[in-house]
Amino acid sequence: MDNGVRQADRRWSQKYGTDLVVALVAGFFWLIFKLLPVRAASALGGGIGTFVGFFARSRNQIARQNLKVAFPDKTPAAREKILRKMWCHWGRFYAEMPHARQLFKSAEFSGLELLQQCMRDNTSGFVCSAHLGNWEPAVSAPIVGEKYLNPVYRPANNPWLDKLMFQRRKGVLIPKGPRGAKKMIQVLKSGGFIVMLCDQKLREGIEVPFFGIPAKSPDAIATMALKLNVPIFMARSIRRPDGRFKIEVTSLDLSVSSNNTITPEHEIMRRINQTIEKWIRETPEQWLWIHRRFDKSFYKNV
């Protein structure tokens, strides 16, 4: 299983000790969620997520910092309400993972035909999304015929969890990093579509404003799209009140004018970040507020 250096560096005692114990516990809950009907599993997961949120002190502090940036005009009480709902949503997300294909079949779609037509024509390209809603259905089920999206992902440090949660996907798994870049080129040259979550902080990348603050952004998607002349689609999956999901797909404008102040890659990433900001403002309780999106100095008091 080629998932990068971090797993290879795990000590034998760790891999077959704590890692295995954690995976067995996670596998136990996975089995429970899988055996339950999807709505019951989702409700149970939401309860567990809400409970976990009460004890995640450091993560909650990070989330509060992020919420202040995104919603400076909201009261602290309103931002706390978003945070509580977020924990419930992400508990539901993990509980729904074993039912991903079923959720895809029951989803409402808008613009999916744009992506499907490209895949029928064997045209390669990118799908850009975010840690918003539930993207698992779209990377666990065929989009058209027997064609799947190929996700770029961060392999879990725990190899057992990685196999349980990610290796079951049918598309080509592309780990982040130099090894993943080679796979990306191979997938694009073979006519495949790559899906990336573009809303997390990277060590590399370019600084592009996100909610008005410079944030490292993954410009590989823009660089490759321009170099290979392939499209980028923006896609999000929104949780509806009835528990179903709406999956929206739109084309991203890749036309750029000559401008000496910013590069074409920077302009495309600016458009991507603006789209993700809009999504987050519309359904803030469905975004993952607990990761450090900005430079470490922004969280110095956390």
Residue 302: what pLDDT?
66
Amino acid identity, residue 109?
Answer: F
Per-residue pLDDT at 269: 95
Q: Is the dihedral of CA 91, 94, 95, 100 positive or negative?
A: positive
How confident is the model over 248-258, as a mean pLDDT?
90
Question: 292 burial class (0-12, 13-18, 19+ CB within 10 angstroms)?
Answer: middle
pLDDT at position 260 is: 66
Q: Tell me the range of 16-20, 39-43, 161-165, 201-205 where mean pLDDT is highest.
A: 39-43
pLDDT of residue 3: 38
Residues with Cβ < 8 Å from 209, sequence gap 6 or more?
Answer: 215, 270, 273
- Alpha carbons 237 and 246: distance in angstroms, whole number: 6
Look up the pTM and report it.
0.90
Domain count, the chain: 1
Domain residues for the domain of 38 are 5-299
Structure-token pair, residue 54: 């009460």
